[in-house]
Amino acid sequence: MKKIGVLALQGAVDEHIQMIKSAGALPSKVKHPSDLNGLDGLVLPGGESTTMRKIMKRYDLIEPVRAFAKEGKAIFGTCAGLVLLSKEIEGGEESLGLIDTTAVRNGFGRQKESFEAELNVEIFSDAPFEAVFIRAPYLIEPSPEVSVLATFEDKIVAAKEANILVTAFHPELTNDNRFMRFFIEKMV
């Protein structure tokens, strides 16, 4: 059974743990660099990207997470996780730089502009995905190596590059585990 870590510093940790279980893998909370040992993949959950980055620095997790990715291990970032994994963040904030694109924080507006939308996703031919957007970012300027998996209003909201998968929305807040299954079955 594959073991998938969830960065458990802030954000939708428990929801990701339940989604990992529903997709047939073993979840594990990650709070310290040593917690990355033995993992097959890692999830950076939604939450608040600036807060998560500050806590990651405090717990010395920035470089270990980068090393984890450089070893070829898969990482899935949702919402704030997408922002943290991007090569750049509009406005110049520090990121992990693991997917060659730029993130626009709160690209669809503030909390009150949160919404749900049906998306056609490149990797799912069976049915659209009902996505939950909360203070959602989006991506701009992807390099040719980045595969765009879904857009909404001509904005990139799901993408993949090598071992990195990102969504601007929260798949863990739905009953649809296709993104987690794809991550575990195809990327990990």
CATH number assigned to the domain with residue range 3-187, chosen from the 4 options 3.40.50.880, 3.90.45.10, 3.40.50.10190, 3.40.1360.10:
3.40.50.880
130 is in an annotated binding site: no
For residue 187, count CB atoms less than 10 angstroms from its CB and return exposed for 0-12, middle for 13-18, buried for 19 or more.
middle
48 is in an annotated binding site: yes
Given its phi and psi angles, is residue 123 left (phi above 0), alpha (psi -120 to 50 degrees) or beta? alpha
Q: Determine the distance from the C-alpha atom of residue 56 to the mean position of all C-alpha atoms in its chain, rounded to a whole number.
A: 15
* pLDDT more than 70, % of the chain: 100
Tell me the per-residue pLDDT of 48-57, one tens digit each, with 9 for 90 and over: 999 999 999 9
> What confidence category does residue 91 fall into, taking pLDDT thresholds of 50, 70 and 90?
confident
Question: Looking at the predicted structure, is the pLDDT value of residue 140 above 80?
Answer: yes
116 belongs to the catalytic site: no
Catalytic, out of 15, 16, 79, 161:
79
Question: Looking at the predicted structure, is the pLDDT value of residue 4 above 80?
Answer: yes
> Which pLDDT does position 111 carry in this prediction?
76
170 belongs to the catalytic site: yes
Maximum separation of any 2 CA atoms in the chain, in Å: 43
Which one has a higher pLDDT value, 168 or 188? 168
Question: Looking at the predicted structure, is the pLDDT value of residue 93 above 80?
Answer: yes
SS3 131: strand
Cα angle: 169, vertex 30, 139; to 5 degrees? 25
105 is in an annotated binding site: yes
DSSP 107: T
d(CA 45, CA 80): 7
> Which pLDDT does position 31 carry in this prediction?
97
Determine how many CB atoms are found less than 10 A away from the CB of residue 65. 23
Question: Looking at the predicted structure, is the pLDDT value of residue 112 above 80?
Answer: no
The full set of domain ranges for the chain reads 3-187
